[in-house]
Amino acid sequence: MADKADTDKKRKPSKQSISEPSEIETSVTEDKSPDTKKKKQKKKKTKHTDIEAVMEDDEYELEKSNEKEIAGIKKQLKEITSKLNNMVSKIDKSTSTLEKKLEQVIDKDSEGMNIREIIKEMFTDMKESLLGSAILRIEKLECQQFDRESDKDKHSKKIEQLEKHIKDRDQEIHALKRDVIENETKREYSQNDFEQYTRLNNIRIRGLPENDENPRAEKAEETTEKVVKLLSERKINVVYDDIDISHRLWKTVRGKRDVIVRFKSRMKRDSVMRNKRSLRGSGIWLFDDLTKLNHEVFMSVRHKMKDEVDQAWISNGKILYRDKSGKVIRVDYDDYDSWLDLPWPNT
C-alpha cells in the first residue's frame, strides 16, 4: 500500500506537467490574435482634373500600400516562426522533464512503456495541431497577398485603358487642330481672293501732284479731274464718266499720297494699264491695286530671287513670273509662305 501511495504521489506531478503544453498553446494562440489584426487606413478623396495626375497618384498609392502590407506580412511570419520555435523548445523541455519523472514509474510499473508512448503521441499530436494552425495562417496570408497582386493587375489594366483612352483623345485633338488650321487657311485664302476680286476695276497711281495750299482738303471730284487730265495728256483715252470714284490714301510716299481710281468698266481699266508705258519719264506710275498680302508676295517674287526670276507681273489679281528658262509660273496661295519666309537681299 505504501508503494501504491508513493506511486500515486509520483504520478500526480506528471498530470500537472501534461497540462502545461495546453497552457502554452493557449498563450501562443492568445498572443497571435492581436498581431493578426490589421488597421484599415482611410482613403483621402482628392479631386484631380487631369487624368494623367490621377493615374500617377493612384499608382503611387497602390505601390506604397503594397509595400506596407508586404512588410507587415513578413513581420507577422517572423513573429509566428519565433513563437513556434519557442513553443517547440518549451514542449521539448516539458517532454524531457516528464521523461525524467516517469523513469521511476517505468521501473515499478510494467506498463510504463505504454504510458511513455502515449505521452509521446500526445505531444506529437499537439505539435502537429500547432504547426497545422501556423500553416493555415501562412496560407491565409499568402491568399491575401495573391488577392493584392490580383488587385494590382486589375489596376494596371485600368491604367493601360486610361492611357489608351488619353492617346485616342490626343489623336482626335490633333486631327481637330489640323482641320481647324486647314479651315482657317482656306478662310484666309477665300477672304484674300474675294478682297482682290473687288479691286479688279481699280488702279493705283503714284506721284500725282496735290494742292500746295491744303493737300488734305482735296475732294474726290478734284482728284478725278486730275486723273483724267493726266491720262489725256499722255494720249490715254479716258473721260470723266469712265471713272466711278477716285480718292487719295492717307499714307504718303515721297511726300505724296497714292490715288486709288475705280473704273466703271474692267475693260476700260485694263486698257489704261496696257498703255501705262506712256507715263514713262513723267514721274508718275500706275500699279495694280493689290491686297496687302498679295502686294507683299508680289514684291518678294520681284526682289528676293533675282537669280531665278526674270520678270514678275499681275494678271486679273494673280501673281505670275517668268524664270530664267522662259517658263511662266503662277504663284499659288499655298506658295505664299515660302516666298514670304525668304530673306530680303542686301541693299
Residue 51 confidence (pLDDT): 55
Residue 132, CA atoms < 13 Å, CB-side half-sphere = 6
Please state the rounded mean pLDDT for residues 71-80.
75
CB 98 within 8 A of CB 17: yes
Task: Output the pLDDT for position 105.
Answer: 56
Average pLDDT in the 96-113 region? Answer: 58
* Averaged pLDDT, 237-259: 87
Distance from CA of residue 142 to its chain's centroid? 39
Beta-strand relationship, 328-330 and 285-288: unpaired
Q: Residue 242 CB: number of other CB atoms within 10 A? A: 19
Does 117 score more than 90 pLDDT? no
When pLDDT is cut at 50, 70 and 90, the band that residue 148 belongs to is confident
Q: Tell me the mean pLDDT in the region 276-294.
A: 91
| Beta carbons of 14 and 102 less than 8 angstroms apart | yes
Q: pLDDT-derived band of residue 24, with 50, 70 and 90 as boundaries?
A: very low
Longest dimension (CA), the chain: 167
How does residue 73 score in pLDDT terms, banded at 50, 70 and 90? confident
Cβ–Cβ < 8 Å for 134, 88: no
| Residue predicted with more confidence, 154 or 55 | 154
160/156 Cα distance (integer angstroms)? 6
Residue 27 has pLDDT above 50, yes or no: no
Separation CA 318–CA 66 (nearest Å): 71
pLDDT at residue 74 greater than cutoff 70: yes
Place of cell 499608382: 59
pLDDT score of 217: 74
Q: Give the chain's mean pLDDT.
A: 77
pLDDT range class, residue 94, cuts 50, 70, 90: low
d(CA 10, CA 106): 11
Contacts of 309 (CB under 8 A, 6+ apart): 301, 302, 321, 322, 323, 324
Strongest mean pLDDT among 28-37, 155-164, 259-268: 259-268
Confidence of residue 57 (pLDDT cuts 50, 70, 90): low
Q: What is the mean pLDDT of residues 206-213?
A: 81
CB of 288 closer than 8 Å to CB of 258: no
CA distance 211 to 234: 21
The answer, yes or no, to whether residue 197 has pLDDT greater than 80, is yes
